[in-house]
Amino acid sequence: MGAEVHGTQEFDKKKRAEIKFSDAAMAEVNEIISHYPTEKIKSSLLPVLHIAQAEFGGWLSPETMDYVASVLKIKPIEVFEVASFYTMYHLKPVGKCVFEVCQTSSCWLNGAEDIVKYIEKKLNIKVGETTRDGMFTLKTAECLGSCGTAPMLQCGASYHENLTYAKVDSLIEKYKNENRLRSYTDKDYQNTL
Amino acid sequence: MGKKLLIHNDKVPNIHTLEVYRAHGGYASVEKALKTMTPDQIIDEVKKSGLRGRGGAGFPTGLKWSFLAKPPGVERYLVCNADESEPGTFKDRYLMEVIPHALIEGMITSSYALGAKTSYIYIRGEYFYVARILEAAIKEAYAAGWLGKNILGTDFSHDCYVQVGGGAYICGEETGLLESLEGKRGNPRIKPPFPAVAGLWGCPTVVNNVETIAAVVPIVNEGGEAYAKIGIGKSTGTKLISASGHINKPGTYEIELGIPVEEFIYSDEYCGGIRNGKKMKAVVAGGSSVPILPTELILKTAKGEPRLMTYESLADGGFQTGTMLGSGGFIVMDEDTSIVKNLFTFTRFYHHESCGQCSPCREGTGWMEKILKKFMNGTANESDVELLWDIQSKIEGKTICPLGEAAAWPVAAAIRHFKHEFLEIARNKKFVDVSHYNRLNKVTA
């Protein structure tokens, strides 16, 4: 794996050598692997990539993908072709909190566009950008299955529903104060159903 | 009040725990099935029930089960499709989040009927927290002996696992799902072979929607005939409907198939009518893929009969004047809504979600989005309406999986019923978003 696979991103051998799952993460990975027949270990790739993304800075660097390939004993290209297919894997660095605002039909009917504009103004970034302090990334998302509680945004494992400007304000305030990486794998999701 | 079979206990405190679920009759179907029924008897009951796939296609479940190949010495699998991604649909999320054991129980009973020693629940990655809830429920079920070796002292053993996806609508298509479950890109497979013959890892596999599997529980408990008595004709039993849009009471409702559409929209038991005293303009009745219908056609068929919430009644008139029950994603739009703008959000969705395997879909969805964007910024011409029609007609039926149709149908229906809106924008060279004021009111509340 190298530059030819990842375009302009350089493969850093030194960085690669430092990547290793913590014991807790490795235990989770092993649990996932045990769900499949031994020779079908590749099936664990999607969930393991989620753990890797949470463990190594919120995105999947070429070095991280190379490491995951070595853990699952598959080729690095098999990891890359999956990571690049699915929208939840970030192939570039993102902020600690990624706001994914749903914009499809029911969310649009209920003001998703205004929520996006409000966040853009408040954080002084455009969709796709990250704040200078590395705290927030703003993205739009396609239907997240929250149509009855629109508009909504997802941040890590949490669904924030029936959004208003006031709710967005308090959410940003809260996340700023907590100042930590929010991942899909977080166990302290906020259930707002 | 209509009869409810799936979410009748949704308001019971702590119904997500095994203890409370069991106290309300949970896991009775596993006891009945394993102790008193053969697998074939269960398949017969499911056939008698008339249950049809609740993910959207509506294929008879008993028939699908009977296609499962059973070569000796080869593993068979049950895979639950919890990839709920059809815009407008969130009923499976509600069921899994509130009553996770209803799905686990259905998985065990169905796996016994199919002879599957292992089953997987493939859930969309965005529902990560719901996967946690399911995993907690599975853990409880193992501890209580409902999963694992020799369940209830019989020789039936079963393991059930949850797998999270990575965010891709296409994995709701059953072969795309199987690819993803194998740790690959979710590119749908060419059929045949069907999963019933060569599915997960090439083994015979049944893929069923969450709601379908949960419905097996009441069918086994009360019998297929009792289930078939609910509903009308070939639309038997109850259906979960996800209601959203400009209605007073959005949410997940369980209805008896056969109630009038008008009752569903206007009665206080369900949607509670249109918000802000507005009039209704249009409805997408079964998720984003199904044809949008204007008010007069969603409430009554072209023949003037009341439209009912059944597979047949909603489809009455074909695509000229009808639609589909689909996934039950019921999106209601008020009189101020721009049908063109709503279509733009749908088409943007399909372009984003096309897996890229088939040229008509990969190129066509992007092209249609580009044209609709011209309508949004006021640069479209009248001839662009014909062009849109032409493109959608060349996607349908020319792709490996039904995403092509799913992307084409909403475009065709919007033009069929609301052509004047497209022409107005093209003639005035301007898109006026009348409903923006209402939306702004909602988010600044």
DSSP chain A: --TTTSTTPPP-HHHHHH----HHHHHHHHHHHTTS-GGGGGGGHHHHHHHHHHHTTTS--HHHHHHHHHHHTS-HHHHHHHHTTSTTS-SS---SEEEEEE-SHHHHHTTHHHHHHHHHHHHT--TT-B-TTS-EEEEEES--S-GGG-S-EEETTEEE-S--HHHHHHHHHHHHHH-----TT-S------
Average pLDDT over residues B227-239: 98
> Could B331 and A105 be called an inter-chain contact, meaning their C-beta atoms sit closer than 8 Å?
yes
Structure tokens at B272: 């509670």
Classify the C-alpha dihedral B39-B45-B50-B53 as positive or negative: negative
Which residues of chain A does B244 touch, with a Cβ-Cβ cutoff of 8 Å?
106, 109, 147-148, 150
Taking only the tens place, the pLDDT of each residue in B161-195 is 999 999 999 999 999 999 999 999 999 999 999 99
Tokens 């993102």, residue located: A94
H or E stretch at B265:
helix B261-266
H or E stretch at B160:
strand B159-164
> Could B345 and A50 be called an inter-chain contact, meaning their C-beta atoms sit closer than 8 Å?
no
Distance, in Å, from the CA atom of A40 to the CA atom of B327, rounded to the nearest integer, reads 32
Average pLDDT over residues B23-30: 98
Please say whether the beta carbons of A54 and A184 come within 8 A: yes
Domains for chain B: give ranges and CATH numbers.
18-228 (3.40.50.11540), 240-334 (3.10.20.600), 339-432 (1.20.1440.230)
| Average model confidence (pLDDT) across chain B | 97
Spatial strand order in the sheet of B251-256? B251-256, B238-245, B329-334, B280-284, B293-294
Greatest alpha-carbon span in chain A: 51
pLDDT at A9: 67
pLDDT per position in chain A (193 positions), as tens? 343 445 556 899 999 999 999 999 999 999 999 999 999 999 999 999 999 999 999 999 999 999 999 999 999 999 999 999 999 999 999 999 999 999 999 999 999 999 999 999 999 999 999 999 999 999 999 999 999 999 999 999 999 999 999 999 999 999 999 999 999 999 988 655 4
Which of B85, B165, B355 is the closest to A145 by Cβ? B85
Distance, in Å, from the CA atom of B79 to the CA atom of B223, rounded to the nearest integer, reads 24
pLDDT at A191: 59
- Mark B177-208 as b/e (b = at least 16 C-beta within 10 Å): bbbbbbbbbbbbbeeeebbbbbbbbebbbbbb
Q: Is the pTM of this model over 0.80?
A: yes
Which residues of chain A does B184 touch, with a Cβ-Cβ cutoff of 8 Å?
42, 81-82
Please say whether the beta carbons of B212 and B53 come within 8 A: yes
Q: pLDDT band for position B332 (50/70/90)?
A: very high
pLDDT tops 60 at residue B391: yes
Structure tokens at B415: 């033009």
Average pLDDT over residues B436-445: 88
Distance, in Å, from the CA atom of B78 to the CA atom of B116, rounded to the nearest integer, reads 6
pLDDT at B1: 75
Which residues of chain B does A162 touch, with a Cβ-Cβ cutoff of 8 Å?
none
pLDDT at A8: 54
Least confident of A9-18, A65-74, B331-340, B397-406: A9-18
pLDDT at A2: 40
pLDDT at B437: 85
pLDDT at A3: 39
Q: In chain B, positions 71-90, which contact chain A (CB-CB < 8 Å)? A: 84-90
Classify the C-alpha dihedral B366-B371-B376-B377 as positive or negative: positive
> CATH assignment of A13-83?
1.10.10
From the number of C-beta atoms within 10 Å of its C-beta (0-12, 13-18, 19+), residue B166 rates as: buried
Q: Which long-range contacts (CB under 8 A, 24 or more apart) does B144-152 make?
A: B144/B18, B144/B22, B146/B27, B146/B30, B146/B104, B146/B105, B146/B108, B147/B104, B147/B108, B151/B30, B151/B34, B151/B108, B152/B30, B152/B31, B152/B34, B152/B35
Taking only the tens place, the pLDDT of each residue in B96-139 is 999 999 999 999 999 999 999 999 999 999 999 999 999 999 99
CA-nearest of B330, B332, B345, B245 to B294 is B332
CA-nearest of B179, B138, B144, B140 to B160 is B138
B125 touches chain A (CB under 8 A): yes
Distance, in Å, from the CA atom of B79 to the CA atom of B177, rounded to the nearest integer, reads 9
Structure tokens at B262: 């008008």
B418 touches chain A (CB under 8 A): no
Residue A148 one-letter amino acid: G
Question: Where are the domains positioned within chain A?
Answer: 13-83, 97-178
Residue A159 one-letter amino acid: Y
Mutate to test the interface with A, among B74, B92, B126 (most CBs of A within 10 A): B126
Please say whether the beta carbons of A103 and A65 come within 8 A: no
pLDDT at A188: 84
pLDDT tops 60 at residue B64: yes
Distance, in Å, from the CA atom of B301 to the CA atom of B73, rounded to the nearest integer, reads 52
Tokens 């419905």, residue located: B215
pLDDT at B120: 98
Taking only the tens place, the pLDDT of each residue in B344-370 is 999 999 999 999 999 999 999 999 999
HSE-up of A7 (CA within 13 Å, CB side)? 6
HSE-up of B132 (CA within 13 Å, CB side)? 15
Average pLDDT over residues B284-299: 98
pLDDT at A192: 52
Cis peptide, bond prior to residue B306, ω within 30 of zero: no
Roughly how many angstroms between the first and final C-alpha of chain A, as a whole number?
Answer: 43
Please say whether the beta carbons of B273 and B266 come within 8 A: yes
> CATH assignment of A97-178?
3.40.30.10
Structure tokens at A29: 């990975």
Mutate to test the interface with B, among A85, A164, A192 (most CBs of B within 10 A): A85
Tokens 């059953």, residue located: B174
pLDDT at A4: 43
DSSP secondary structure code for residue B211 in this structure: H
pLDDT at B421: 98
pLDDT at B47: 98
DSSP helix/strand/coil, B398: coil
Taking only the tens place, the pLDDT of each residue in B305-326 is 999 999 999 999 999 999 999 9
B165 touches chain A (CB under 8 A): yes
Structure tokens at A4: 């030819």
pLDDT at A166: 97
Which of A147, A165, A187 is the closest to B444 by Cβ? A165
Whether the ipTM is more than 0.85: the answer is yes
DSSP helix/strand/coil, B440: helix
